[in-house]
Structure 1
Amino acid sequence: MPLRPPLILLLFLLFSACTTVRETPPDASLRNTRWVLRTLAATPINTLESSQEIYLQLNATTNQLDGYAGCNRYFGRFEQPTATTLRLLNIGSTRMFCEARQQLETNYLKALQDASRFEIQGNTLRLYAEKSDEPLAVFEAVYLK
Structure 2
Amino acid sequence: MPLAFRLPAAAAALLLLAPACSYDLSERPNAGSTANSADRPVPTSAPLRNVRWELRELDGQPAPATEQRPFLVLRDGRARAEGRAACNRFSGPYTLAAEGRLRLGPLVTTRSACPDLATEGAFMRALNQAQRYRIQGNTLSLYAADTREVPLATLQATAGE
Superposition TM-score tier, normalisation by shorter sequence? 0.7 to 0.9
Aligned residues between the structures: 121
Letter in 1 for 2:52: R
Matches within 5 A, 1:29-68: 29-48=47-66, 51-68=67-84
Matches within 5 A, 1:1-145: 25-48=43-66, 51-99=67-115, 101-132=116-147, 133-144=149-160
CA offset digits 1:4-50 (Å, max 9, x no partner): xxxxxxxxxxxxxxxxxxx67321000000000000011102435xx
- Extract unaligned runs of 5+ from structure 2: 1-40
Q: For the Cα contact (< 8 Å) 2:132–2:146, is it kept in 1?
A: no
Moved over 4 A (4+): none
Q: For the Cα contact (< 8 Å) 2:79–2:94, is it kept in 1?
A: yes
Identity of aligned residues (%): 37
- Extract unaligned runs of 5+ from structure 1: 1-22
Structure whose alpha-carbon radius of gyration is higher: 2
Name the TM-score, length of structure 1 as normaliser.
0.78
Name the TM-score, length of structure 2 as normaliser.
0.70
Q: For the Cα contact (< 8 Å) 2:94–2:103, is it kept in 1?
A: yes
